[in-house]
Amino acid sequence: MREVRIRAGLSQSQLAAAIGVSFQQVQKYENGANRFSASKLAQAATFLGVEAGALFQDLPGDGETSGDLRPMSRTAIKVAEIVGGLSPAKQRIILDLATELRDGG
């Protein structure tokens, strides 16, 4: 769920408010300390604009992911969290730099 939330550009507090729980509860959901009720899972998926299954990671299966929801490394998640806290202008600079690095520049 954490990856989906971060990709959506949302904080734990924003997701928590949308589904009617505390941000600490969202932390517990993301860390696997607590389980979702079916209703909270449905609310979170709807708010994040994904199917409920996209909120689960590292579950046994065929190893395929849907769409652009490939697992992110811990480093990529940290970068997304940091960049998400920057102004839009600084986010654009980081995006341009990352694109240039990816393309071999």
Q: Indicate the domain borders of the chain.
A: 1-58, 72-105
Q: Give the pTM.
A: 0.57
- Residue found by looking up tokens 């209703």 in the block: 39
Average of per-residue pLDDT across 63-88? 66
For residue 40, give the amino acid letter. Answer: K
pLDDT, tens digit, 9 for 90 and up, residues 14-70: 999 999 999 999 999 888 888 888 888 888 888 888 888 877 765 444 444 444 555
Choices 2.40.40.20, 1.10.260.40, 3.40.50.11740, 1.10.3720.10: CATH for 1-58: 1.10.260.40
Rounded distance, CA 56 to CA 72, Å? 13
DSSP characters over 46-98: HHHTS-GGGG--S-SSSS---TT-PPPPHHHHHHHHHHHTS-HHHHHHHHHHH
Query: Residue 45's pLDDT is what?
Result: 87
pLDDT, tens digit, 9 for 90 and up, residues 92-104: 898 889 888 988 8
Query: Residue 72's pLDDT is what?
Result: 62
